[in-house]
A and B are shown apart, each in its own frame.
Chain A
């Protein structure tokens, strides 16, 4: 498998305020305080902004394109102004093309604020969440909305808690391996179309699409629904991508891993993912090999690397010049079973 450049990932350009409100109203307990005006305005970035300085009149470098969060500071500042001063101050803010404003901590908007917001067509929301908590939650939500995504062809399974993506050419048996793993008690995340979402710098989350969910095609049978067939224990919606396994027909030109001392990786959107190339051979049970790969990954994660341990044992033995090949047990103690 070739590295996947981050440029191949796609990102949402914008979301509308209406979409944001629809998704966020229950999550963050947000209510619309103005008429439903300006709901078609666009949010184009995940960062938020506190408009304190803009209200005070300093609008150089004002990040007006961001969602504006009015906390207690902004609210206190506005309430100590006279009616005219307040209109003046708010107009400075509203003449920018803001996507929307959120009032935190159950602060009630002043009448001037509602009037001006409706005049300029900028939606104002209110929430009882404190500013810090709301900022954290909204940033996280928007970060998710604007996260780069990439669709990849393969089967994605949670094997003993390790997110394994099976890739390889059409018809090589990715779905069959996934089905086999499900039968052995592992959980299917997605088959065929896997959407990878980059979270932070080092994490790729994989999930299916909302239409297909846990449907799967097995050649010769047709379309199956894993959830209906194996129950809810056999599926999950999301999993971090931890190993990519590429299935291929045995190719004598290719070198396959023997010791496992060198860890091969493939870069997917700048994230290094451990990568294994598995040849399909008669007598090779890919499902069992995959389970063992997952267990070995876990062992390494918890600090035991079999290849390194054997390498060390060999080095110790080599230093001890007089040593020769010994049985693991030197006395059978009359146990001839």
Chain B
């Protein structure tokens, strides 16, 4: 299992469109993907789960990947967070 902290950098925060993109990206990998905020762990492959986080600009999330393709999954998803969900 590998994990990484990410920060939300776009103004609108983690709203519906990026949430949908994240679950679509995550669904391509076999690894389990969890996002943790304030100790609350949600499944990163579920749209409702990701929206539950209500992560606004500046908030910090911990991403956890566990499985055979965890490295690749982490790279893809962390990159999407670092691009500010392509809204920068």
Contact = CB atoms under 8 A, between A and B. Distances in A.
Chain A interface, >50% SS class: strand
B54 A153 contact: no
A192 B46 contact: yes
Interface stretch (A52-60, A114-122, A211-219, A265-273): A211-219
A10 interface: yes
A193 B49 contact: yes
A217 B43 contact: no
Interface of B is mostly: mixed
A153 B39 contact: no
B47 A211 contact: no
B43 A170 contact: yes
Interface in B6-41: 27, 38-41
A211 B56 CA distance: 14
A216 B43 contact: no
A211 B48 CA distance: 10
A209 interface: yes
A151 interface: yes
A223 B43 contact: no
A192 B54 CA distance: 15
B62 interface: no
A151 B41 contact: yes
Nearest to B41: A151
Interface in B34-86: 38-43, 45-49, 51-52, 54
Interface of B: 27, 38-43, 45-49, 51-52, 54
